[in-house]
Amino acid sequence: MKPFAKSMARIGTESAFEVLARCRELERQGKKILHFEIGEPDFPSPPHVIEATKKALDQGYTHYTPPQGIYEIREAVCEEIYKSRGFRPKPDQVIIGPGGKPIILFAMLATIDEGDEVIIQDPAYPMYASIANYVGAKVVPVRLREENDFRMTVEDVNEKVTSKTKMIVINSPQNPTGSVLSREDVAGIAEIAKDNDLWLLSDEIYNRIIYDAKHFSPSIHDMALERTILVDGFSKAYAMTGYRLGYGVGPEKLIQKMVILAINTISCVTTFVQIAGVAALLGPQDSTEAMVKEFRARRDLIVSGLNSVRGFRCLNPKGAFYVFPNITGTGMSSAECGNYLLEKGGIAVLPGTAFGEAGEGYIRFSYATSQEKIKELIEKLKTLF
Ligand code: PLP
């Protein structure tokens, strides 16, 4: 066999999938697993969205669309951005993708070259560093600190900017820590991007899943006309992970480059899925509201529960559906703790190091699971530590 492309050695994977494979093997052997590793809402997609999908199929929405996405969904996205962020982009500033992930990929491929530097939170969602490495760029991590509620500070970002910096990536509410950037944090980072003429990729996929806080988008500073690329989607806000639907909002010239990447890869997003997306954005929002209310109750439950476990210390995150407790009090490393929980307790989690070096000493629990399961988790942890 001929060798594989050298670039394959630079791309990463997501440990979540490896943990899931180990869980499936244990489950096959008859072991019961408590799943706290999965990053997707355990709610059904909204019923009116399902209805709209079926209707779209019956109406024959089964052919190609323009690669940028149908006009109706791009217009609905503009309306959504107006309602939630406070400015109205033009439909030409919007691209529809099969999930938020391909939007992040297209945005990075369209802007980053070999040798460029990309400033990324550490810990962070793994694909940012993976793709930056893949294209031969240098990842410049900004260490998030527990004592600062895992927020990326303006000073920390400023310190990392060099003449080679091309992009800053932010994610608020954040995966894996659940941290939420303040208005000042976001404004300060947007200013650094402006002063140094950088791209600013803002992954806002969890913006609807937020408690006791407000979400701020850097896109308000340039109305996504100059440097900000806003990424959002339907997976988390509408429990539509399997639909594969997301979008990007950015400068028209950049969106056109991303469209070229779409033409070369996906052609377009599944047509009836785009129609369903219009229904999700413009229809009733009660499913999302009910889901967020339940997530808040679960967060309260898991945070107080984890803080009662010996060796665990857990902040009260303001967003997403993850907690990132400090487990150094157990005397174990993240990997040891993750293995111990799975082997001894049948509890699946992700080690903090799956999200970067600064994740050492932490593990991530996703609380996208029932309150009963969370209570069972806490009882079990008390017997293990
Ligand atoms: N961004 C973050 C921070 C995520 O956690 C995820 C999914 O877990 C995504 C983007 C991608 O979501 P999707 O491609 O399903 O829209």
Amino acid making up residue 74: R
Give the pLDDT score at 15: 77
- pLDDT for 190 beyond 90: yes
Give the pLDDT score at 19: 86
- pLDDT for 143 beyond 90: yes
Q: 241 in ligand 1 pocket by Cβ < 6 Å?
A: yes
Give the pLDDT score at 16: 78
**What confidence tens digit (pLDDT) does each residue in 27-68 have?**
999 999 999 998 889 999 999 999 999 999 999 999 999 999
Q: How many CA atoms lie within 13 A of 350 on its CB side?
A: 30
Q: 80 in ligand 1 pocket by Cβ < 6 Å?
A: no
Pairing of strands 138-143, 117-122: parallel
Where do the CATH 3.40.640.10 domains begin and end in the chain? 63-282
- CATH of range 6-44+286-384; options 3.90.1150.10, 3.40.50.970, 3.30.2310.20, 3.50.50.60: 3.90.1150.10
56, 66 Cβ separation under 8 angstroms: no
Tell me what the mean pLDDT of segment 304-328 comes to.
98
- The CA radius of gyration of the chain, in Å to the nearest whole number, is 21
**What confidence tens digit (pLDDT) does each residue in 257-268 have?**
999 999 999 999
Q: Is the pTM of this model over 0.95?
A: yes
Nearest to 266 by CA among 76, 44, 120, 66: 66
| Residue range 63-282 in CATH 3.40.640.10 | yes
Nearest to 168 by CA among 149, 148, 185, 182: 185
The first and second tokens of residue 295, run together, are 């997530």
Give the pLDDT score at 14: 78
Name which residue sits closest to atom 7 of ligand 1, judged by CA: 39
Lowest mean pLDDT among 20-34, 165-179, 278-292, 369-383: 20-34
**What confidence tens digit (pLDDT) does each residue in 64-91 have?**
999 999 999 999 999 999 999 999 999 9
Q: What is the DSSP string of 333-375?
A: -HHHHHHHHHHHH-EE-EEGGGG-GGGTTBEEEE--S-HHHHH
d(CA 104, CA 97): 10
d(CA 166, CA 255): 17
- pLDDT for 312 beyond 90: yes
- pLDDT for 217 beyond 90: yes
Give the pLDDT score at 376: 98
Q: 101 in ligand 1 pocket by Cβ < 6 Å?
A: yes
Q: 235 in ligand 1 pocket by Cβ < 6 Å?
A: yes
Q: 287 in ligand 1 pocket by Cβ < 6 Å?
A: no
Give the pLDDT score at 148: 97
- pLDDT for 21 beyond 90: no
Amino acid making up residue 51: E
The first and second tokens of residue 80, run together, are 């959504």
Where do the CATH 3.90.1150.10 domains begin and end in the chain? 6-44+286-384
Ligand 1 atom with the smallest distance to the CA of 171 is: 3
Nearest to 94 by CA among 229, 226, 187, 282: 229
Nearest to 237 by CA among 200, 315, 290, 171: 290
**What confidence tens digit (pLDDT) does each residue in 156-171 have?**
999 999 999 999 999 9
Element (H, E) at 199: strand 199-203
Percentage of residues in the chain having pLDDT higher than 70: 100
Q: Tell me the pLDDT band of 108, cut-offs 50, 70 and 90.
A: very high
d(CA 318, CA 296): 9
Express the helix, strand and coil content of the chain in percent, nearest 5 each. Answer: 45, 15, 40
- Centre of ligand 1 from the C-alpha of residue 240, in Å: 11
322, 41 Cβ separation under 8 angstroms: no
Residue with tokens 């997501």: 14
